[in-house]
Amino acid sequence: MSDKGTCSDEGSDKLANFAKSIIKSFILLTVTISLIYIKTKYIKSDTGQAPIINTILFILLGTVLLTILGITDMYIFNNLVLGLGIGLGMHFFSA
């Protein structure tokens, strides 16, 4: 038996993997920039303390964005959450 179309299947697999990587990269960058934007918009560092409603909005929007990232790529989500935990731990130890 001969495998017909293996070359075209290989080409389409490469194209599918490329498209998946592009989409994952786009979503990761979009989530990162969105988190930075909502942090600067809702939590202002010049006042010293953010109002409670702004903190709640930041937590809710950040949760939605991280959930979108978790649905897209669980490996990146797990590593990002691990990094957040390490960053918070270092912040608490230094304070």
pTM of the predicted model as reported, rounded to 2 decimal places: 0.63
Whether residue 16 lies inside any domain: the answer is no
Whether residue 17 lies inside any domain: the answer is no
pLDDT value at position 14? 85
Arithmetic mean of pLDDT, 2-29: 76
**How many domains are there within the chain?**
1
Residue position matching structure tokens 């989530």? 31
Q: Kind and range of the H or E element at 1?
A: none
pLDDT value at position 10? 73
> For the chain, what percent of residues have pLDDT higher than 70?
83
Whether residue 24 lies inside any domain: the answer is no
Whether residue 38 lies inside any domain: the answer is yes
Residue position matching structure tokens 């038996």? 1
How many angstroms separate the Cα of 1 from the Cα of each of 4, 9, 10, 63? 9, 17, 19, 52
Domain that includes residue 73, residue range: 29-94
Condensed to tens digits (0 to 9), the pLDDT of residues 49-92 reads 778 887 888 888 888 888 888 888 888 888 988 988 898 888 88
Provide the 10 A C-beta neighbour count for residue 89.
10
Residue 72 neighbours by CB under 8 Å, 6+ apart: 23, 24, 27, 28
